[in-house]
Homo-oligomer: A and B are copies of this chain.
Amino acid sequence: MHKKALLRKQLNTQKVDAILITDLINVRYLTGFTGSSGYAVITKKHAVFVTDFRYEEQSVHEVRGFSIKIEHTKRSREIRNICDVYGIKTLGFEEHDLTYGFYRKLVKRKIKLRPLANSVESLRMIKSPKELACIRASIRRAETAFKKLAPYIKAGTTERKLALKLEELLKKQGCKTLPFEVIVASGPMSALPHAAPTDRKIKKGDLIVIDWGGEYDGYCSDMTRTVLMKGANVSKQREIYYNVYEAQKRALEAVRSGIRSADIDAAARNYIDKAGFADFFGHGTGHGVGLAVHEKPVVSWRNKDQVKENMVFTIEPGIYLPGFGGVRIEDMVIVRKNRAEILTSLPKKLKCIGT
């Protein structure tokens, strides 16, 4: 009810009679529907969810607060019908999701359309107590799985084997889907922030960046830990680790309701810059997490907006030395009035592995 009421406020400000929600994550957020084909239309007085016959039974179980309509004709014609039935003259739509091709089909049906940006995304940024509970549960699953991975991290195993094992452990914790393919990047590969696991064997002296997430009732978690394989000369590895550790700590300490995202980013970035690694931290400090593993807000130098209470995002600075290796440490936080509540509980002291 609350979500629908907030969305209905936008009907006036956006000068539309109804909003068509096609982004499936937004559909899930509003209606509860978890399937892969459906959309919602919200007017001042009505809220309807539409899907096809394959999802009839599922939608009855899942959808709350919306009447359910099974579509028996082409989608654009069904939407035209809905406009007629509910007296919708101007229909707002999600411009980030609707394709140009489908837009044209609606235009041909003589529907007056108005593009909208961030209608539901702006609501999704602020998490409800129920959502926070799901996110916490998603983090717990991810942490439990990671703890069980420990005995498998050893010299001679491969990145792919470790990634596979962690995915298996996550599924065994109950995650129905994984928010992204687990990243295990070792040695020089760890210098690539988005490395996919390879058949490279783990060696002495390797930094290993492990970036993974869990799922609980659709809600994602996202975390990164970097471990070190013991080796003869690992002083450089230790140096960059502790710089990332300290930078992350500063960003975490900066978080509070009202601070600008850019200032949280700066807290980590300034530390890394001063340590002499300014050129080796190429990405933003964090991103929102919820039903999507990457959602608003963006925590980077580009975002001057203030963060608000009950936003959830990651804090994940890193240093990446090409050809050598990299370190990233990533926690999830809830924004509280005067502080961050850090949700990730896995230790962050550098873990050295091997005999």
Interface residues of A (CB under 8 A from B): 35, 53-55, 57-58, 93, 95-101, 103-104, 115, 117, 164, 167-168, 171-172, 176-177, 181, 192-194, 196, 282-283
The reply to whether A115 and B96 contact each other, CB–CB distance below 8 Å, is no
Contacts of A101 in B (CB 8 A): 95-96, 115, 117
10 closest A-B pairs by beta carbon, nearest first, are A95-B101, A100-B103, A95-B100, A96-B101, A98-B100, A164-B171, A168-B168, A54-B194, A100-B100, A96-B99
The reply to whether A177 and B181 contact each other, CB–CB distance below 8 Å, is yes
Q: Which residue of B lies closest to A172 (CB)?
A: B164
Bound Cα distance from A171 to B177, whole angstroms: 15
Bound Cα distance from A343 to B104, whole angstroms: 39
Contacts of A196 in B (CB 8 A): 176
The reply to whether B104 and A54 contact each other, CB–CB distance below 8 Å, is no
Contacts of A192 in B (CB 8 A): 57-58
Q: Which residue of B lies closest to A98 (CB)?
A: B100
Bound Cα distance from A316 to B100, whole angstroms: 32
Contacts of A104 in B (CB 8 A): 95, 115
Contacts of A171 in B (CB 8 A): 164, 167-168
Bound Cα distance from A112 to B86, whole angstroms: 37
Min Cβ gap A169→B in Å is: 10
Contacts of A58 in B (CB 8 A): 192
The reply to whether A193 and B54 contact each other, CB–CB distance below 8 Å, is yes
The reply to whether B53 and A282 contact each other, CB–CB distance below 8 Å, is yes
Bound Cα distance from A181 to B178, whole angstroms: 10
Contacts of A93 in B (CB 8 A): 100
Min Cβ gap A220→B in Å is: 16
Could you write out 26 A-B pairs with CB less than 8 Å apart? A53-B282, A54-B193, A54-B282, A58-B192, A93-B100, A95-B99, A95-B100, A95-B101, A95-B104, A96-B101, A97-B99, A98-B100, A99-B99, A99-B100, A100-B100, A100-B103, A101-B115, A101-B117, A103-B103, A104-B115, A164-B168, A164-B171, A164-B172, A168-B168, A168-B171, A176-B196
Contacts of A167 in B (CB 8 A): 171
20 further interface pairs, Cβ-Cβ under 8 Å (given A35-B194, A96-B101) = A53-B282, A54-B283, A57-B192, A93-B100, A95-B101, A97-B99, A98-B99, A99-B99, A100-B100, A100-B115, A101-B115, A101-B117, A164-B168, A164-B171, A164-B172, A167-B171, A168-B168, A168-B171, A176-B181, A176-B196
Contacts of A97 in B (CB 8 A): 99
Contacts of A99 in B (CB 8 A): 95-100
Contacts of A176 in B (CB 8 A): 181, 196
Bound Cα distance from A35 to B193, whole angstroms: 13
Bound Cα distance from A1 to B282, whole angstroms: 35
Bound Cα distance from A337 to B103, whole angstroms: 40
Q: Which residue of B lies closest to A199 (CB)?
A: B174
Min Cβ gap A267→B in Å is: 23
Contacts of A193 in B (CB 8 A): 54
Bound Cα distance from A101 to B282, whole angstroms: 27
Bound Cα distance from A282 to B70, whole angstroms: 14
Contacts of A115 in B (CB 8 A): 100-101, 104
Contacts of A282 in B (CB 8 A): 53-54
Min Cβ gap A133→B in Å is: 21
Bound Cα distance from A172 to B168, whole angstroms: 11
